Amino acid sequence: MNFTSTIAKAFQTDILVIGSGSAGSTAAIAASHGKYQVALVERYGFPGGTSTQMLDTFYGFFTPSEIPRKIVGGIPDKIVNALNRSGDIFLRPNTYGAGTGVNYNPEKLKQVWDNLLLESGVQLFYHSTLVGVERTGETSTCVFFHKGMGFFTITAKRVIDASGDADYCHWADISYEKAGEKEPAQSMTTTFRMSNVEHEEYEAAGGKKMLRAKMAEAYEKGTYPLPRKEGSAHEMCQPKCISTVAVKVVDHDPLEVEGITRAEIEGRRQSFIFEGFFRQEVPGYQNAKIIGLSHQIGVRETRRVYGQYRLTKKDCLSARTFDDQIFLCGAPIEDHRKSDDGGSETFWQYVPNGGVYGVPYGTIVPKESTNTWVVGRCFSATHDAHASCRSMAQTMSMGQAAGLAALLSLDSDLDAGNINVKQLQDSLLQLGAILEIPDKVADTTRDGWENN
C-alpha cells in the first residue's frame, strides 16, 4: 500500500512498540534500559490496554495453590509498588482458584503507566492507529493514522507487536491463526462498575455463594434474560463500589466492523439487564447503580501468531519447563465459551498439584520475521494454552522479555531468533524476573512487595 503522497510526518526510532497494554508498556520500559531510542504507539489516549480499559485486577503473580509462591517479578513489581505507595491496591483471593489477585484502581494505573514510560524516556504517540507496514531489509516503516494530522510513519530497526490483535503481523504478512477457525473463539465481555453497594449486607446474606445461586436460578427459570448462570462481582478500591465480569457476548467477529459494532451494543444491553437483576434480587444492591462501563468490550482472542515455538495445552497441564524459558505461569486454563444450552460459561482446567510451567522464548518470536517480537494475547499459543497464559502478570513478563531481547538483538546485530537466550535470561534475572519456581512461600497478606 503506497501512502507516500499523503504522509504528514516521518519519524525514526530504534525500537518501536505497537500497543501500550500491560505487555506493550512493560516492553517499552524494558527496552529503554539500553542506549536506543524507544517509541510506543497507542490507539487510545491513555496506556494500559485491558489493565485500564476493562479490568481492575492483576492475576498471575502467585501460584493458585494452598502454598502460594510468587512467580513473577521485575518491572511488574514496579507497577504494583507504585500503586501500593499511593494506596491504590489490595490483595484478594479468587473464588475459582486462579490465585490471589492484585486489585487496583485502574484510573490511577493510567498515571502509573504514564509516569514510568516518561521516566524511562519512551517517546509516546497516543490516538494513533496502525494502518499499514512496509518492510525493507531489517527495517520496518509503519504507517499510522491520527485524526488531526492524518497519516504519519515511524521507521524502526526492531518492532514489538503488542497490539492485542497482532495488527503489525497482519499488515506485515506474518502468519497467524484466527481465533474461531479451529476451536470456538472465547466470548467477549463488557465489564461494568456499580456504586452504593452495601458490602456488609451482601456478605451477611451469603456473599458470592448466594450470588451464584441467585444467578443460576434466574438463568434456569428465565426470570431474567441473563447470558450465563455464573459470574463475578467483587469489591473495588473505591468504597461501596464493585466491578464485574458477568457479561458474555458470543457469535460476533471483533475483527469485522459489523461484528464488533453488534458486540458493543449487545454488551451494553446485557450490562443493564444485570443492573436490574442485582438491584432487585441481590441483598445490598437495592440502591446500587452502574457508574461506568469498560472503555470498550473486552476481547479475549483474535489472532494468535505462529512463532518459533507454539505453547500447547500439554505443556501447560504437564507443568513442562524449557531451557529457554523467559517466565513462569501457574494459571488454570480459563476458557470462556458458548455452552451446549446456548448460553456462555467458563470452563476450567488446572495445572496439577498447584504446579507451574515455563514459557519458552520462541513463543514471542514470529517464524517469518527477523526484527519482530509478539507479546500479549497474540503470542504463539494454541487456543487452550492461550486461555491459561493470558493473565496480565504473564503478559507483562512477555513484554519484559521482548524489550530486553530487542536490546540484545541490536547490541549483537543478530536476528530476533538468533540472540543468545542465556544472555537474555541473565538480563531478566538482573531485572528481578523469576525463571525458576521459588522455595519461599509468598506472603499474600500484604499489598506491596517492596525490596522483595
pLDDT digits (tens, 9 = 90+) for 2-44: 555 689 999 999 999 999 999 999 999 999 999 999 999 999 9
pTM: 0.96
User: What pLDDT shows up at residue 90?
Assistant: 93
φ, ψ of residue 59 to 5 degrees: the values are: -110, 160
Copy the grid coordinates of residue 366.
514470529
Q: At residue 376, does pLDDT exceed 80?
A: yes
CB atoms within 10 A of CB 352: 9
SS3 of 352-416: the string is: HHHCCEEEEHHHHCECCCCCEEECCCCCCECHHHHHHCCCHHHHHHHHHHHHHHHHHHHHHCCCH
What is the identity of the amino acid at 153? T
Task: Give bridge partners of residue 41 from the DSSP assignment.
Answer: 18, 125
Average pLDDT in the chain: 94
Q: At residue 451, does pLDDT exceed 50?
A: no
How far is it, in rounded angstroms, from Cα 230 to Cα 339?
12
Listed in sequence order, the residues at least 6 apart from 207 whose beta carbon sits closer than 8 Å to its beta carbon are none
Judged by average pLDDT, the poorest of 3-17, 102-116, 127-141, 289-303 is: 3-17
How far is it, in rounded angstroms, from Cα 30 to Cα 379?
18
What is the identity of the amino acid at 34? G
